[in-house]
Structure 1
Amino acid sequence: MLWAASLGSAVALAALASAQHDGDHSPPSYPSPWMRGGNGWQDAYIKAKDFVSQLTLLEKVNLTTGVGWEGEACVGNTGSIPRLNFRGLCLQDGPLGIRFADQNSAFPAGVNAAATWTTRLFKTRGNAMGSEHRGKGIDAQLGPVAGGLGRVPAGGRNWEGFSPDPVLTGVAMAETIKGIQDANVIATAKHFIMNEQEFNREALSDGTPAYSANIDDKTMHELYLWPFADAVRAGVGSIMCSYNRINNSYGSENSYTLNHLLKNELDFQGFVMSDWWAQHSGVASAFAGLDMSMAGDQNLGSGNTHWGFHLTEAVLNGTIPQWRLDDMVVRIMAAYYKVGRDTARVDVNFNSWTKETFGYRHAGAKEGYEQVNFHVNVQGDHARLIREIGGASTVLLKNTNNALPLKKPSSIAVIGEDAHDSPDGPNGCDDRGCDKGTLAMGWGSGTANFPYLIAPVTALKAQAARDKTKFTNVSDNYDLSAVTAAVTGAEAAIVFGNADSGEAYITVDGNQGDRKNLTLWGDADALIAHVASINPNTIVVLHTVGPVIVEALKNNPNVTAILWAGLPGQESGNAITDILYGARNPSAKSVFTWGKKREDWGVDVVYKKTSDNPQLNFNEGVFIDYRHFDANEIEPSYEFGFGLSYTNYSYSNLQIEKKSPGPYEPTLGKTEPAPTFGTIDMDPANAQFPPGFHIVNKYIYPFLNGTAIPTGLPQTFPKGANDSSSQPKLGAGGSGGGNRQLYDVMYTVTATVTNTGAVKGTEIPQLYISLGAPTDPKVVLRGFDDLILDPKESRTFKYDITRRDISNWDTASQNWVISEFPKTVYVGASSRNLPLSGKLS
């Protein structure tokens, strides 16, 4: 729907049409909701109030503003409070491990974690990453990722997240957050919201603003906001804004998305941080719900800031009321206490800006030469988990004539650069900004340094030696004469190919973050075709960031097996060897749809600057990935949720039990008035730099430095922005993740899953629901599980269908409703293999 800036009531909002157009605007939503300490935040809120009540104005401002790029050891650092011996917060990338550090692990990417469809592994991976961040002294891990969700298959950072399905992503987000925060580290859900492509995500050097993702209210709730609701319900401590605009308002100052959706409707109790240099205003972003400015400077290493002394000045001149500043700081400190940072904290013992033991404490200013890296090993036994996830996330797409698993073949040939080590080493390119050797993570800020990387050829060669198998290998994709010699007569030829992507600040082979196409890199499609023309048992392994076009491989009779191994992290070679040789039975399911051609997805990256005010209209609504394929009756190569095993499974005995939780009741009432904590000294003379204070160059401080404080300023801030009175609660809100009754159980569904084959395996039963309306997707995923089954064993799959699961967002009432259309539940092995169905009465 059109979000017109002049609208302020739910009735007016509901009257708008459900379409997206150039120039759509978000409606204003003020004031910024203040923290109340509900939903499991009570104890943390009490501690935060006590702490913040002791702080001066300058100390409060210091906690909201980063000190600037390379100002301290971490990628993000807030100011400190020396008087209370509080060092400030250390925030560090990222979603698959610690960026810019050593002696840490490189975990499988989010897309691989999702492909396991295993909540235990979601949480265990999160906990292992969190423990490594804790061991390095990091307060907030900048992950996990639900935005981009994966609207377009070529989106550069899709691999950092989990899946274009909001439910699978939501479950993975929630469990990862629980794991991270159980390790006493603040999780940061990002990027809020609609960051669905890399090109033009930020303002260009010619003054062109970032693209505006224009989206209707229904799509926002039913698709893109869904996993963030799960993150909030899981108690996430912080949320990071996106770079792009949403309905023509930047993510860091969009009062509708931050104040209305996140802090009011979802009742988010933690703090909102900007992405690095994604903040575009000072006062406006504060009123719109931003709580922390990162990295603190206006652009990389500039020494300028939107907050810092400007925020001090805005409070002193009466523009920003004390309650808004206090709310920022209480939210930050409540997240700190909620995860137990006050008892689990160790000193920061690494430095992002040098790998050497000694360096500058303030690298940007080249000041304070001292020991900055203590080389603390935080890896524990995480290699075992990484290997397990690598195997559990490998999707078996094709397996004809039982080509796999391999059983001590007489000879094998391992072909392709992607099977081999990079000649420059696994960390040879900064932030993995190249595609050399085997691919185990994408590029950008969401990466980590590898402690080591087991290439597939290393592990396969070791297996061949154990089996006394003749082994040959070729790393050059273009040396076809050597390839021909290697694969001719080999019992099996295993060919590796990859496709990479990442963040927009790095361009690799002309790919500016987003992929230019959906083919394999390094001419691997031609390489595979050549091998298959010679060897009748060609096995293909794909390390890709997302879907690629595989229809020719699927239909090639000499390609006997296809495996998607994704981005498996440091144990890559061991994990794929486990699958190829049957030490692990494949159980993974695809977390995206594999189209036959690029046009099948219906949406794509906009690669060119379309105007001086670029607009991306999300006219497809909720119909992305399998929802689009289903609605348009497009046959994919492999559907969402598809994955083979070395055994077989059957489904039977669907049972549906109706529950009676009572009627849905919108949340009523009002909040308490905005609280303040402690008193603020309003004398500008006491907000100056202390005499003799040493100023570090380009470091961001809260001090005024002689700045005059204007008085009698005109009231130019948005209407209601400084209103501290009690505010009405939203009917769809009132609890973490939305109205608590959304999570009432309406039905319990059970089904029997049987392993009908001869080997032990893990099956992923999936539950889908048809919501029934002509405008709804044919089916939407709502539940799944992983069932470990011995041969001939049966187990019961069970899922509790909640009110939320069978509801649609109603723009008229601005709430969730169960429509009058009939609902049907389906259970099966993929989105298009659903043998069991039943009506929900």
Structure 2
Amino acid sequence: MDFDELINQLDLSTKIRLLTGADMWSLPAVPEIGLDRLVMSDGPIGVRGEQWTSADPSIALPSPTALAATWDSGLVRQVGRLLAQEARRKGVHVLLAPTINLHRSPLGGRHFECFSEDPYLTGELGAAYVEGVQEGGVATTPKHFVANDFETDRFTVDVRVSDKVLRKAYLAPFERVVRAGAWGLMTAYNSVNGTTMTEHSELVNGVLKQEWGFDGYVVSDWTAVRSTEAAALGGTDVAMPGPFGPWGDKLEEAVREGRVPESVVDDKVRRILRLAHRVGALRPTSGAPAERAEHAAIDGVALAREVAARSFTLLKNDGDLLPLEGVTSLALIGSAADEARIMGGGSAQVFPDRTISPLEGLRARGGVRYALGTDPRVRLSPLAVPTTAQFLDAEGQVLAEHPLATTEARWVGQLPPDVDGERLSAVRLRAAYTPDLTGAHELSVAGVGPFTVRVDGETVFDATIELEGDDPAAAFLSPPERRVAVELTEGTAYELEVTHPAGAFGGMAFVAYTLGHANPSPGDDVLITQAVEAARSCEVAVVVAATTLEVESEGFDRENLRLPGRQNELIAAVAAANPRTIVVVNAGSPVEMPWIADVAAVLLTWFPGQEAGSALADVLYGDAEPGGRLPTTWPVRLADSPVVDVTPVEGRVPYEEGVFIGYRGWEKLERTPAFWFGHGLGYTSWSYDSIAAEGSTVTVAVTNTGPREGREVVQVYLSAPTPDGRPARWLAGFDVVEAAPGETVLTTVFLPERAFQIWTDEGWTTVPGEYTVEAGRSVADRRLGATTKI
């Protein structure tokens, strides 16, 4: 298609209009050249679509840390195909994912949304994700370019990092996904070496577009563009959201006055048209849209369940307690057992139409006795009852009604199509609730602004909640909460109602609040005692321990790695009562485990997505093997980590550790973590039999020496002939193999050229010499070694 011919048909105003969102999630249509509206949506674990609401449900897959724990590029590519299928179902052309920033510090608030501490593993899995999504005709936008590895002061912080470290670590995954053919890329909020990324011509124009040959489009993170000329000249192609902001009329004026060449605008438009052509949104002005290849439908529920089980990482299994066999009584303990933590907070949130909790999944197996144990949640959860959202005008008349699955109202950017934003004055949630306990129930409102809560028509809360902090995104990512106690009677139906003023401003809506609920509680002391009694009375105890929304979410970093509330105390008490205690860690990123020596098994389930409980039952009872291997190193204590602090000093965060993050830093500092990068047990055993290396080709033979079919992740590490400032070793290749009991399999791993290179003033340079190649089960469990000459 001749994009230049189309560009020549557009006047300057129309071209400028294409560079800014028509609203929160889309670029405008230009029918005269056959350009349809281009719709974007957040990911990465699902496709939320334009409406941030449970009224528009989505598949909820396991977190990116879980995907990375599979170490399986083919499985990740299949996930991408499912996401493309979901995007097409929702009319979405561009998925704002994957997140390929690195796990520099375990305190990073969006750690769960990124893949790994290792740039090579991140790049390979990110490339598979991109390829899978784009095979389905949907664009990806890997993010956040670049060095957006923490949340504190993310809008203003300046990361100070050398060119060498950028190339070897933080730019490496982005280069890999560009080589994989990514059709888009998102710039970050932060600055790098004094220049904000939306204006960073050296990295965006110079490295990304010119050196790497990136022909896709570059979109800003939402509201990240804060200038007209600097951002336009800095390489950003699309400023989101729109239509208001620093571009529009201001950019048109800058072009007309010669401060921004029109050729720069034309290049941006060309990239948008190329994107539209790739996703099927640009068609001839006459005739039907171009046909697109059809793909076999993917069963999203089945894939979500498989990915979860494949990601579960067995850290410890004393006496081969797992898989469970012949167990007739099981104590299931923990608030997250009943209310699964299936995803992290923030823009990664989606609304599945079903969630299988561990309690539901394990009860299907029989013999389960449940105890709450302790409730670590700081914020009350919405009621999972049918709810009606009523959109009201200034007179209180109902403009429209929409059903919701829970008592959570959330429309960010787009209102439902039948709601007149000009007339909208308030949004009211109404739900019927019948408690199963008598006593003082807690109701809460989480949101910003005035709220009125009524129970059976009686006002129980009427106040204004003020925004805390200076991050405007907190109003819908992590809003403040207020609570009120209400006496309710078991078996009595109550009408709950919460009303909040709302409207559409500049064509965009921001409605985000929750009516939360908690049952009467006897207190944690009693709850822990009840859990101990349950554990003592059963053959096996399973404690599901989790982080909370206040610990892992977009918008803030973690303060520590402790499990919130009294969960550590609960686990210790249960383990003392029953030596056959299994701890299921339901967290997207590392937590400290002071009780680990006292429990029989530890199974890490990450944020496992909507099929959490079914996958957990599959793995605990041996229907599926826990296939996960750690994509990041887990410390015993936070203080032992090579990089800890993510708090800017005078607005800056220096990456003084260089490339020595993750296992590279642990080895340099000669410290021992709780579990090394790559660690993970299965339900069978493996011998590493032989290794042969010639040039960049490595062949490894492994044998399944255990009693059942299994899957192994063969990891290949490389060490340099001379240090040259490089780590002791680095991941250079990997492969997932399967074998029946007694079966030997060969895998050939091709090491990339970049594994043998260093960055110099002249660019990438291959360092010749004799390298050590090692294969094994983790970075610390290397079973075989060989040498190869380059």
Q: Is structure 2 residue 306 aligned with structure 1 residue 388?
A: yes
Deviation at 1:566, TM superposition (A): 0.1
Identity over aligned pairs, percent: 35
The equivalent of 2:672 in structure 1 is 635
Aligned equivalent of 2:571, options 520, 528, 552: 528
The equivalent of 1:277 in structure 2 is 223
Cα deviation, 1:127-158, whole Å, max 9, x if unaligned, reads: 111211121111111001112x1111110111
Q: Kindly indicate whether the alpha-carbon contact (under 8 Å) linking 1:118 and 1:785 is maintained by their aligned counterparts in 2.
A: yes
Aligned equivalent of 2:536, options 488, 501, 508: 488
3-state SS of the aligned residue for 2:602? strand
The equivalent of 1:591 in structure 2 is 631
Note the 1:207-606 alignment, pairs <5 A: 210-296=156-242, 303=244, 305-342=245-282, 381-421=299-339, 438-464=340-366, 469=367, 471-474=369-372, 476-477=374-375, 478=524, 479-500=527-548, 513-550=556-593, 552-556=594-598, 559-606=599-646
Cα deviation, 1:372-418, whole Å, max 9, x if unaligned, reads: xxxxxx99620100000000000000001111101131211000001
The equivalent of 1:130 in structure 2 is 84
The equivalent of 2:47 in structure 1 is 98
Aligned equivalent of 2:144, options 191, 200, 205: 191
3-state SS of the aligned residue for 2:781? coil
Counterpart residue identity of residue 114, structure 2: G
3-state SS of the aligned residue for 1:192? coil
3-state SS of the aligned residue for 2:144? strand
Q: Is structure 2 residue 7 aligned with structure 1 residue 52?
A: yes
The change in CA–CA distance for 1:534 and 1:511 in structure 2 (over 3 A counts) is farther
Cα deviation, 1:222-257, whole Å, max 9, x if unaligned, reads: 100111011101111111010111111101001111
Note the 1:158-169 alignment, pairs <5 A: 158-169=111-122
Deviation at 1:318, TM superposition (A): 2.0
Counterpart residue identity of residue 146, structure 2: I
Give distance in 2, aligned partners of 1:532 and 1:103: 39
Q: Kindly indicate whether the alpha-carbon contact (under 8 Å) linking 1:188 and 1:237 is maintained by their aligned counterparts in 2.
A: yes
The equivalent of 1:755 in structure 2 is 704
Give distance in 2, aligned partners of 1:77 and 1:778: 47
Q: Kindly indicate whether the alpha-carbon contact (under 8 Å) linking 1:182 and 1:339 is maintained by their aligned counterparts in 2.
A: no
3-state SS of the aligned residue for 2:701? strand
Give distance in 2, aligned partners of 1:57 and 1:94: 33
The change in CA–CA distance for 1:792 and 1:832 in structure 2 (over 3 A counts) is same
Note the 1:48-197 alignment, pairs <5 A: 48-67=3-22, 71=23, 75-84=24-33, 86-99=35-48, 100=52, 102-147=56-101, 149-197=102-150
Deviation at 1:125, TM superposition (A): 0.5
The equivalent of 2:383 in structure 1 is none
The change in CA–CA distance for 1:512 and 1:335 in structure 2 (over 3 A counts) is closer
Give distance in 2, aligned partners of 1:509 and 1:86: 40
Deviation at 1:589, TM superposition (A): 0.2
Give distance in 1, aligned partners of 2:135 and 2:626: 30
Q: Kindly indicate whether the alpha-carbon contact (under 8 Å) linking 2:35 and 2:282 is maintained by their aligned counterparts in 1.
A: no
3-state SS of the aligned residue for 2:141? strand
The equivalent of 1:765 in structure 2 is 714
Deviation at 1:587, TM superposition (A): 1.8
The equivalent of 1:624 in structure 2 is 661
Deviation at 1:802, TM superposition (A): 2.6
The equivalent of 2:781 in structure 1 is 833
Give distance in 1, aligned partners of 2:653 and 2:280: 41
Q: Kindly indicate whether the alpha-carbon contact (under 8 Å) linking 2:354 and 2:610 is maintained by their aligned counterparts in 1.
A: yes
Structure 2: gaps of 5 or more residues: 285-295, 376-523
Q: Kindly indicate whether the alpha-carbon contact (under 8 Å) linking 2:346 and 2:553 is maintained by their aligned counterparts in 1.
A: no
Give distance in 2, aligned partners of 1:380 and 1:511: 30
Identify, as 1 or 2, the structure richer in strand.
2
Q: Kindly indicate whether the alpha-carbon contact (under 8 Å) linking 1:144 and 1:173 is maintained by their aligned counterparts in 2.
A: yes
Give distance in 2, aligned partners of 1:196 and 1:278: 16
Counterpart residue identity of residue 649, structure 2: T
The equivalent of 1:689 in structure 2 is none
Give distance in 1, aligned partners of 2:305 and 2:168: 35
Counterpart residue identity of residue 262, structure 1: L
3-state SS of the aligned residue for 1:239? strand
Give distance in 1, aligned partners of 2:618 and 2:118: 28
Cα deviation, 1:669-727, whole Å, max 9, x if unaligned, reads: xxxxxxxxxxxxxxxxxxxxxxxxxxxxxxxxxxxxxxxxxxxxxxxxxxxxxxxxxxx
Cα deviation, 1:735-790, whole Å, max 9, x if unaligned, reads: xxxxxxxxxxxx21101011001100000001111124332111111111111110
Q: Kindly indicate whether the alpha-carbon contact (under 8 Å) linking 1:440 and 1:572 is maintained by their aligned counterparts in 2.
A: yes
Q: Kindly indicate whether the alpha-carbon contact (under 8 Å) linking 1:484 and 1:534 is maintained by their aligned counterparts in 2.
A: yes
Give distance in 2, aligned partners of 1:82 and 1:657: 57
Calculate the TM-score normalised by the size of structure 1.
0.72
Deviation at 1:335, TM superposition (A): 2.1
Q: Kindly indicate whether the alpha-carbon contact (under 8 Å) linking 1:641 and 1:831 is maintained by their aligned counterparts in 2.
A: yes
Q: Kindly indicate whether the alpha-carbon contact (under 8 Å) linking 1:409 and 1:492 is maintained by their aligned counterparts in 2.
A: yes
Give distance in 2, aligned partners of 1:454 and 1:524: 22
Q: Kindly indicate whether the alpha-carbon contact (under 8 Å) linking 2:204 and 2:235 is maintained by their aligned counterparts in 1.
A: yes
The change in CA–CA distance for 1:623 and 1:416 in structure 2 (over 3 A counts) is same
Q: Kindly indicate whether the alpha-carbon contact (under 8 Å) linking 1:415 and 1:475 is maintained by their aligned counterparts in 2.
A: yes
3-state SS of the aligned residue for 1:121? helix
Give distance in 1, aligned partners of 2:44 and 2:85: 13
Cα deviation, 1:412-467, whole Å, max 9, x if unaligned, reads: 1000001112xxxxxxxxxxxxxxxx211110012211211110011101112xxx
3-state SS of the aligned residue for 1:655? strand
Q: Kindly indicate whether the alpha-carbon contact (under 8 Å) linking 1:144 and 1:187 is maintained by their aligned counterparts in 2.
A: yes
Deviation at 1:822, TM superposition (A): 3.8
Q: Kindly indicate whether the alpha-carbon contact (under 8 Å) linking 1:755 and 1:791 is maintained by their aligned counterparts in 2.
A: yes
Cα deviation, 1:518-569, whole Å, max 9, x if unaligned, reads: 011232111101101111100000011211112x33322xx11001000110
Give distance in 1, aligned partners of 2:752 and 2:552: 47
